[in-house]
Amino acid sequence: MKSKFSIDWDSFREKFEDFLSRVEINSKDEGRIPFEAYDAQRYAMDEVFEGLKKDIHFFVIGKGRQLGISTLFELFDVFYCGAVPDMQGCMIFQDQDTRDDHRVKLVEMMDSLPPSHQLPLAKGGNNRGGFRFANGNRINYLIAGTKRGQGSLGVGRAYNYCHAMEVALYGDPDAFETFRQALSEIFPLRLTVLESTARGYNLFYDLFEEAVADDLVKRAIFVTWWRKRTYSYAKNSALFKRYGWPELSAEEKDAAAKVKELYDYTITLQQWAWYRHLADPRAQADADPEASDRREVIQQEHPHYSEMMWRSTGSPFIPGQFLTAALARASKIAFKGYRYYLGDDVLATRIDQIGFANRTQLRVWQEPVSNGVYIVACDPAYGLSDDGDGFCIQVVRCYADKMVQVAEFNDRSIQAYQCAWVMLHLCAWYGNCRYIIELNGPGEAVWTELRNLKRQAEGGRLAPPRNDPRNPTQEELERESGIRNAYGLIRQYLYHRADSLGGGGYNYHMKTSEQVKFTFMTQFADRFMLDEFEINSVPALKEIQSLKKDGRYIAADGRAKDDRPMALGLATRAYIDSERPALVSANRTFASEQAIAAQTGNSLVATYMSSIVAQHVRQRQQTRRRAQRSIGWKW
């Protein structure tokens, strides 16, 4: 027997398109006309129905402005919840005024339907609270609110259908996350559609990125301006003659190449003419500083490709063209992923290689080499601001003419003393290094624990236990000596103001102020844009992408984080002040170092990492031997 929840999605779409063809809309461009889905709307429908056929029921749609996506899915809401059995649906708006406007528009469209296509409502089933259908289904209107505490996403309601509009404007992300728990995850015909223009790094960015990553059960859809047929000027029009010049600017060439690569689509000159007119109607962008601001707004409202959606208005810390190329390169570079298991004692620490990127704390692109010079930079959680809530450690190899990111640790769940253990581990593993810590917040606690551990190592108290304390083997003595010697290669960063006279005025590490941060982050940006800092971490590049510059204030936009770029900035400062001069004098350039010898990988035997791993292996071997003895195995 066929289930009432079994739907042929091709047939369902045919019925929906027939329903659409009977609706009249009051178009801003053409007046009252029959509804006809055009290219951008049809593309969004294609993506949703393809997803439904693959048993995907959660869709996040990033879009340009005025593409009719909200109107299309409002009609889909009514049709779906009116025709599909047992639907408990909701539509979410950012405020009451928006709800009222959309309700009036939706009622007008519903009233335009002929009797043959009306969806029967219950008595009094159309009001400011939503729709109630004669079959018992319903759609509630909910308000998210643009500030915390303003919305009506109340606890205690349950839904198997949800359409949320302009999610980027929701002012209480926590309330929305709580609301998501009210959505069914098992109802066969459940459906969630979240759609919005982007407006920077906010709740919607998180939802879109989540859908990109969780592609087995979610689908991220990007609907852009060049999919709308009316966003174009005819070749014989006066507007095309003024704005349709054939030479593309460098920015247009980059965008066109990206669109071709990602979507296999070529933006036509007629479309570029429309876009140029919109972005710079005076056609003098290069000569008019205000035109640049206007272009930023237009790029946010009408992005060429999905990555461009998140560029909020304002001044980006590093221009997009540098980051686009770096992201393309970094996304192709493999890394080894590790996870620390941190106990109550530093000697109980162990590290395992894992194969799941989302569980990785430590990413390693290059293992240590015996002749390498390294910077280990730590930005603890909540150092200069409350937005940086993760402990981040960057390991950078230094050359006379560039830096290369070789490892990155990032985690939000560890404590300050555990961060010190990881720091010491990485410093000892990479060997010849200088470490720098941002001392604000818990940074001083990290530094204090590091000094304590260093004293223990130098006193021999961090060495693995001897098999016979009174008669150590030569191997044990060499290992203990190696651990002590390893810390002799670890140096601390000494901060010195650039305008100080003489040799005095040095301080350990960095206590960051906004002025100091602006300086070292600018140094970092310079090195990166000059191709003198090779960054391999995609998460780090995405955090850099979110950084905005407002005068002398540099910070992540919206809900984005800046832990990774902060640590990279600290590494840059330590490199410039402490390591680069000697490397330049010795002519240890990137090319010359690469030509010296092949990397030897884990060649530093007497390191902290080796001692931890070796101790862990010995403990496991001893456990196995005891178990074997207990059951009488011969070995």
CATH number at residue 205: 3.40.50.300
Is the pLDDT score of 110 beyond 70?
A: yes
* Residue 331 is assigned to a structural domain of this protein: no
* Residue 635 is assigned to a structural domain of this protein: no
Token pair 């551990």 in the structure block, residue: 453
* Same domain as 245, residue 219: no
- Residue 312: the pLDDT is 60
* Same domain as 171, residue 140: yes
* pLDDT tens digits along 246-274: 999 988 998 999 999 999 999 999 999 99
* Residue 147 is assigned to a structural domain of this protein: yes
- pTM value? 0.74
pLDDT band at 626 (very low <50, low <70, confident <90, very high): very low
* Same domain as 289, residue 389: no
DSSP class of 499 = T
Tally the domains of the chain.
3
- Termini Cα distance of the chain: 63
- Residue 634: the pLDDT is 30
- In angstroms, the CA 604 to CA 369 distance is 8
- In angstroms, the CA 495 to CA 194 distance is 48
| 426: β partners | none
* pLDDT tens digits along 278-321: 988 876 544 454 555 667 778 888 999 998 888 665 567 888 77
- Nearest CA to 182 among 224, 227, 149, 140? 140
* Same domain as 452, residue 547: yes
* Same domain as 368, residue 246: no
Domain boundary among 223, 248, 269: 223
* Residue 371 is assigned to a structural domain of this protein: yes
For the chain, give the longest Cα–Cα distance: 98
* Same domain as 140, residue 65: yes
- Residue 21: the pLDDT is 92
* Residue 211 is assigned to a structural domain of this protein: yes
| Average pLDDT score over the chain | 83
Q: How many CA atoms lie within 13 A of 361 on its CB side?
A: 22
Domain of 544 in residue numbering reads as 336-610
* Residue 329 is assigned to a structural domain of this protein: no
Query: Which residues, 6 or more positions from 120, have their beta carbon under 8 angstroms from its beta carbon?
Result: 133, 134, 135
